Amino acid sequence: MSSLTAPEDTTTPPKRPDARPPRRPRRHLFPYLIIAPAVLLELLIHIIPMATGFWMSFVELTKFFIRRWLEAPFVGLENYSIAIDLNTPVGQELLNSFLVTVGFTALVVGLSWGLGMAAAVALQRPFRGRGVFRTLFLIPYALPLYASVITWNFMLQRDTGVINHVLVDQLGILEDAPFWLIGDNAFVSVVVVAIWRMWPFAFLMFMAGLQSIPGELYEASAIDGAGPTRQWRSITLPMLAPVNQTMLLVMFLWVFNDFNTPYVLFGSAQPPAGDLISFHIYNASFLSWDFGVGSAMSVLLLLFLLAVSLVYLYFTQWKKEKRNA
């Protein structure tokens, strides 16, 4: 963000002989006027719901109180203790869901990063057909989520899907056709589908980042005898650091919060191995109509994401400042 002062905020306006008298009040009102709709909407869609959600996590909000939820009794931290009590199914399932989500996020973010980087580097030099690959690789990102995930659901069907057809019938890698959408395989399925959707975003960001690296850097280093691997480590990676920093955080938050992929892939009966946390909270709230415990889980999720983001920002910014010093 620039720190320049606004044109008409300067203390002494340029003096012109025929200058009109300064219109002080209107000048200060205008920014407030045009930002008002955004502030009102932010209040309505973010601030009030968040405050409400926080409050909801401290009251007993079962189905008896949904219609008159303002009268729901205050129960303090009880919803939180229910959510994290490992001696009950609720607590165990939440822990399981959290661990599944951590593994899911690590794999999806890591592999999307790798694939996106590989594709961007492979498409860095001009060659015939480069535009075709570029366009093809962006299609998964542009496809509406449900269209692509429904297609994957069909592909992963046990008896009629292409995956088992290839693995069992054509290549003979597997003996019995496995189920991909129930049991432990569900984890593999949801990871692959999420990567399919996510990696083009990394590709897109890296492609744009690579354009900003001057070609002379590569030429000069080639004269000094640096090979492609060395160039990648010493030029490409450091030059992409700013893109990387933002992108990793954004991808982490998107993937960790992913509700849509498991919802469309598994339907409402998600297997424990694919029980991602957003989906879990949704089910905990709407299937058992216990919004209080659901809200407590949401607040815990938010605190976790906030903590990770702050630690991440602290270290990346700290490193940046150290470099500049």
Residues 109-148 that bind another protein (CB under 8 A): 115, 118-119, 121-122, 125, 127, 133, 135-148
Is residue 293 within 8 Å of 84, Cβ to Cβ? no
Binding to another protein (CB under 8 A) within 186-215 occurs at 196, 204-205, 207-209, 212
| Binder of another protein out of 95, 99, 154, 315 (CB under 8 A) | 154
Instruction: State the minimum distance, in angstroms, from the CB of residue 64 to another protein.
Output: 14
State how far the Cα of 239 lies from the Cα of 177, in Å rounded to an integer: 46
Residues in 241-260 that interact with another protein by CB under 8 A: 242-243, 246-247, 250, 253, 256-257, 259-260
Minimum distance from CB of 325 to another protein (Å)? Answer: 20
84 or 217, CB closer to another protein? 217
- Helix 241-256 / helix 185-211 crossing angle, nearest 10 deg: 150
How many residues in the chain? 325
In terms of CB distance, is 87 or 321 closer to another protein?
321
Closer to another protein by Cβ: residue 18 or 76: 18
The residue type at 205: M
- Choice between 115 and 273, CB closer to another protein: 115
By the rule CB under 8 A, 179 interacts with another protein: no
Among 160, 176, 224, 225, binds another protein (CB under 8 A): 160
Residue 242 CA to its chain's centroid (Å): 18
Residues 6+ apart with CB under 8 A from 96: 272, 275
The site map against another protein for 71-110 (x = CB under 8 A) is: ----------------------------------------
Helix-helix angle 291-324:241-256, to 10 degrees: 170
52 part of the interface to another protein, by CB under 8 A: yes
Q: Which burial class, exposed, middle or buried, applies to 170 when counting CB atoms under 10 A from its CB (0-12, 13-18, 19+)? A: exposed
Q: What is the CA radius of gyration of the chain?
A: 26
Give kind and range of the element (H or E) at residue 321.
helix 291-324
* Complex with another protein: residue 106 or 253, whichever CB lies closer: 253
> Would you say 245 and 314 are in contact if contact means Cβ atoms under 8 Å apart?
no
Phi, psi of 74 (to 5 degrees): -75, 130
Of 184 and 219, the one with the shorter C-beta distance to another protein is 219
Answer for which of 179, 305, 312, 316 binds another protein (CB under 8 A) is: 305
